Amino acid sequence: MKITKAFLPLGLAAAVAVSVVLSAMIWTNPAQYERNRQRSSNTPTTELSTRPQKDVYLPTQVVYSDANGNQELLNNRKVNLTTELREALSKWQFSRVNRVRVASKNAYMKYLTRKSSLLLSYASPINVKMFNTVFGGKLNSQATQFSRILVPLDDQDHIYLLDDKKQDVYQVTVKSADATAIRKIMKENLFRINVTMKWLSESATAYVKNGVTVPSYSYLVNQQSTDYFTTRLLNKGESTNVSAKKNKDNTIYSDGASRQLTVYNKQGTALYEDYSALQSSLSFSQALKASYTVVKTIGIPMENLRYYGYSSSNSTVTYRSFVEGFPIFNQSNYGAARIQMLSQGVRRYNFSLYSLQVPVPTDKKSVTLPGTQTVIDQLVAAGYSKSKINSLQVGYQWLTSSSSDKVVNLTPTWYVHYNGSWKTYTQLLKQQQ
């Protein structure tokens, strides 16, 4: 008994010492701890499903013009409308591209308002090479850029590729075209908003004529673990020793060489930087393809992901999540992901740690939004310059639920691209009060 009492204090001291050492190791290198913990677990890191490039680069907006010239912004809340239209158009044979001379902006607008037609629009230009990928075409002139596809329903011999910036029009000759499938899609129970195409700044916009009522949603959200991203971006299956440095607002993980991942837990975002890229600059086509590959490498969910923007000045591609046909703007500062590939060989990836899982019942009511012209008039009356309003878009505002951090509320509102950044129109109006 005396021997036991003698060794008891020594045993406790040893246990405390081991605990302190282990705690210090975890504090100084949490990434290594998390990875070792993950490898010893019977539950592997969940691999998120990816989507093919042809889905991520689908158009984001569909406007229908009837035989009388009335225009409607279309959406289908049960199935993806642009996917349905892509499947129908993929059965057509696109043979050649010819440029059409357009005399003025008014002449160009006649294409955007053509009777008996569908106008499929992108938030940012793509090129013919990507068109071939999405719609199964074999067109030449692959470097030609455009942001809209005009599909006449009363002329099945041609479609048109349109570029607002330069008012360029390209006529595509079509063979084996049959609009029956498209007309059938048009008869489905679609969500229709009365619009008219008008110029706003340097591009055309689907002006919502009257107020529009858009439903609110609530979703369960998932936050991927930091270990998931450090493994995919820093470790990559190698025996790399990842270090971590905790700061007040973030944690910086590094492979000790040229790659680091900064995680901002409060905002739920991350920034990955790689200074070892071999290719110094990318062409437009290369940037579209490479950024898609990067998104797959990061491992963020792609089910609702769509291409939303490209900046030629810094070779940056932006992607946003979409719900019921409308984009989510503040999932992070840059949407769902921003892939930046600088000419110096530097790669920067901004992305959100959160992703939508499944919708949940909500007591949030639908929101009635004013028409486009009303929003513009309110902004101008508040002192904003109309010339600096580049675009207006109905979109969803990502707001964390007050009842649970596992639920996010998606509230519809007008987003305004003003002076180079996206903000809600209510935010802009409050700033002027």
Report whether pLDDT(34) > 50: no
Separation between Cα atoms, residue 156 and residue 176, nearest integer Å: 9
Residue 19 CB contacts under 8 Å (≥ 6 apart), including other chains:
none
Count of beta carbons in the 10 Å neighbourhood of residue 319: 26
334: helix, coil or strand? coil
Across the chain, mean pLDDT equals 87
Report whether pLDDT(27) > 90: no
Separation between Cα atoms, residue 119 and residue 206, nearest integer Å: 11
pLDDT value for 48: 56
Could you tell me whether strands 145-152 and 203-208 are parallel, antiparallel, or unpaired per DSSP bridges? Answer: unpaired
Residue 240 CB contacts under 8 Å (≥ 6 apart), including other chains:
234, 255, 256
Structural tokens at position 213? 């009522």
315: helix, coil or strand? coil
Mean pLDDT (whole number) for 314-328? 93
Separation between Cα atoms, residue 119 and residue 293, nearest integer Å: 29
Tell which residue, 136, 139, 146, 171, has the closest CA to residue 157: 171
152: helix, coil or strand? strand
Count of beta carbons in the 10 Å neighbourhood of residue 158: 16
Q: List the strands of the sheet with 203-208, edge to edge.
A: 93-100, 168-175, 158-163, 145-152, 117-127, 61-65, 71-75, 191-200, 203-208
* Unique residue bearing structure tokens 């035989």: 67
Check: CB of residue 331 under 8 Å from CB of residue 321: yes
Structural tokens at position 332? 């992070």
- 347 — pLDDT class (breaks 50, 70, 90): very high
Structural tokens at position 173? 């000759």
Residue 406 CB contacts under 8 Å (≥ 6 apart), including other chains:
220, 221
Q: Which CATH class is domain 219-358?
A: alpha beta
* Unique residue bearing structure tokens 């282990």: 22
Mean pLDDT (whole number) for 376-381? 97
Domain range annotation of the chain? 53-197, 219-358, 360-431
CA triple 97-137-48, angle to 5 deg: 135
Separation between Cα atoms, residue 185 and residue 66, nearest integer Å: 14
Separation between Cα atoms, residue 408 and residue 107, nearest integer Å: 45
Report whether pLDDT(284) > 90: yes
Separation between Cα atoms, residue 97 and residue 172, nearest integer Å: 5
**Which amino acid is it at 406?**
K
Query: pLDDT per residue over 202-247, tens digit each?
Result: 899 999 999 899 999 999 999 999 999 999 999 876 656 889 999 9
* Unique residue bearing structure tokens 């499938």: 181
Distances (CA, A) of 328 to 22, 37, 249, 258, 372: 42, 34, 25, 32, 19
Check: CB of residue 147 under 8 Å from CB of residue 163: yes
Tell which residue, 197, 58, 39, has the closest CA to residue 135: 58
pLDDT value for 77: 79
Could you tell me whether strands 61-65 and 71-75 are parallel, antiparallel, or unpaired per DSSP bridges? Answer: antiparallel
Query: pLDDT per residue over 160-219, tens digit each?
Result: 999 999 999 999 999 988 899 999 999 888 999 999 999 998 899 999 999 899 999 999
Long-range contacts of 99-103 (CB under 8 A, 24+ apart): 99/168, 99/169, 99/170, 99/171, 100/160, 100/169, 100/170, 100/171, 102/167, 102/168, 102/169
363: helix, coil or strand? coil
Check: CB of residue 216 under 8 Å from CB of residue 367: yes
End-to-end CA distance of the chain: 80
Query: In the chain, pLDDT over 90 holds for what percent of residues?
Result: 69
pLDDT value for 239: 58
